[in-house]
Structure 1
Amino acid sequence: MNHLMYAVLAGCGAAVAIGLLSFMDANLADVALLMAPFGATTVLVFGLPDSPLAQPKNVIFGHLLTAAIGVFFTQYVGVSAMTLAIATGAGVSAMLMTKTTHPPAGANPILIMLSGQSWGFLFTPVLVGAVMIVVVGRCMKLLQQRFIAA
């Protein structure tokens, strides 16, 4: 598959994933399924699907781990310039120690702490959104492989 076709399919995959999350977000009362780091996640999942940083384990657990750190700091430590820095650093270290590094997830503690999120944020949007992006990514990869074989 040529570079242009690959880029177009990657963009379509990202649009489908964010579109599904956005549609569900807008149509399900009291359920948030979008967060800014997912935009960067789609760059990796659809643009560089074979990258270790784009693998399902990294996407899902990287987001969950850093989000949990952000919620922990929000709920039990507090939000200040210092705690934002410490939580972000802790997220980076935790992803590296668990081999679940996913760079877009590094933004989660900042996002969560600045918006004052609670533990429910780990389920929606973090878990549901990350899983949906991974599922759409896998579907697009199958379509790309079929398209190449055709």
Structure 2
Amino acid sequence: MYQRLITSRHFVPLLAGFGAMLCITALSSLGSAVQSSVWLMAPFGATMVILFGLPESPLAQPRNIIVGHLLTTAIGLSVATLVGVTPWTLGLAVGLAVSLMMLTNTTHPPAGANPLVVMLAGEHWDFLLMPVAAGAILIVVFGVLYHRVISGKQYPKRWF
């Protein structure tokens, strides 16, 4: 009966939303618990859609989530540091991010927004570690635990 319930057409979307809610709540709570610590950024919300809604997708695998977020954030920070922030460099950074994710087989669509986030917000290199690296790793760990314990789906399909 439980297996039939968790695979029903109406239950699966609710279960995915529940996982996303728990993960973002946990990251947000960490930020509140550790003063002046940020564990969230907007693209993580889009990562929730892929990780909890489509966990079998290649785009949801740990390599794609972690490396995709790190690579694109580093590109945004590099472009901003080297040539500044202009309409042209915003486009350049996103274009480079898309190309490098595809070339390295680490495509994760939500990470495509990271260059814009860091460049428009004027973030610095410490942003790469917190919230990007720490948050992406915790998201993957949360996803593994959630899918193994609650959703019953096999996640990940591959690590790296």
TM range (shorter): over 0.9
Partner of 1:26: 32
Kept after mapping to 2: 8 A contact 1:17/1:133: yes
Query: Which of residues 106, 121, 142 is equivalent to 2:148?
Result: 142
Partner of 1:133: 139
User: What residue identity is the alignment partner of 2:13?
Assistant: A
User: What residue identity is the alignment partner of 1:98?
Assistant: T
Instruction: Tell me, in whole angstroms, the C-alpha distance in 1 between the residues paired with 2:85 and 2:19.
Output: 36
Of Structure 1 and Structure 2, the greater helix share is in 1
Percent of aligned pairs with the same amino acid:
49
Matched, 1:58 2:31: no
The ranges of structure 1 where at least 4 consecutive aligned residues each deviate by more than 4 angstroms after the TM superposition are none
Matched, 1:48 2:54: yes
Kept after mapping to 2: 8 A contact 1:61/1:100: yes
Instruction: Tell me, in whole angstroms, the C-alpha distance in 2 between the residues paired with 1:81 and 1:45.
Output: 31
Gaps of 5+ in 2: 1-6, 154-160
Partner of 1:94: 100
Query: Which of residues 3, 11, 26 is equivalent to 1:5?
Result: 11
Kept after mapping to 2: 8 A contact 1:74/1:117: no
Q: Deviations over 1:95-136 (max 9, x none)?
A: 000000000000000010001111111111001111111111
User: What residue identity is the alignment partner of 2:78?
Assistant: F
Measured after TM superposition, the shift of residue 79 of structure 1 is 0.1
Q: TM-score, normalized by length of structure 1?
A: 0.94
Kept after mapping to 2: 8 A contact 1:45/1:54: yes
Partner of 1:123: 129
1:100-115 map, 5 Å: 100-115=106-121
Q: Over aligned residues, Cα RMSD in angstroms?
A: 1.1
Instruction: Tell me, in whole angstroms, the C-alpha distance in 2 between the residues paired with 1:21 and 1:36.
Output: 12
Measured after TM superposition, the shift of residue 27 of structure 1 is 2.1
Gaps of 5+ in 1: none
User: What residue identity is the alignment partner of 2:39?
Assistant: L
Q: Deviations over 1:17-66 (max 9, x none)?
A: 10011111122122111100000000000000000000000000000000
Q: TM-score, normalized by length of structure 2?
A: 0.88
